A = this chain, B = another copy of it.
């Protein structure tokens, strides 16, 4: 069954990342957030959630933990008090740099070549977007 294989493959990927991230004190979703903010700092929670496909009920506690760890700040947008703006601290940027090698180390673990990885990623993106289109 595809569902089961996809499920277990996702968990295997999760497990493979864990030893790479654990020395940095990061969990897997926290790493995704850090990488996203390192790429584009000052994002709002909404944008971040849309790109990572996570809801506020997941992000709020996750971001609070990252804030408590001193990696980012959560501040209200002065122009719209409903919005929360996320900014990396110096510690957060340093951590993101230390995590820069993680994707390469992971790719090595998979044993797949870059073309295979790209193909697989593209198929999965099609599947995902078909099942759950990104919000408008």
> How often does this chain occur in the complex, in copies?
2
Q: Please tell me if the beta carbons of B120 and A53 are within 8 angstroms of each other in the complex.
A: no
> Is A69 located at the chain interface by the 8 A CB criterion?
no
**In the assembled complex, which residues on chain B have CB atoms less than 8 Å from the CB atom of A8?**
52-53, 128
Contact residues of A: prevailing secondary structure: helix
Would you mind naming 19 contact pairs between A and B with Cβ atoms under 8 Å apart?
A: A1-B121, A2-B120, A3-B17, A4-B52, A5-B125, A6-B13, A6-B121, A7-B13, A7-B14, A7-B28, A7-B32, A9-B10, A11-B53, A12-B127, A12-B132, A110-B131, A111-B130, A116-B123, A120-B124
16 A-B pairs besides A12-B53, A12-B127 with CB distance below 8 A are A1-B103, A2-B13, A2-B117, A3-B17, A3-B103, A3-B106, A6-B13, A7-B10, A7-B14, A9-B124, A15-B131, A110-B131, A111-B130, A112-B127, A116-B123, A120-B124
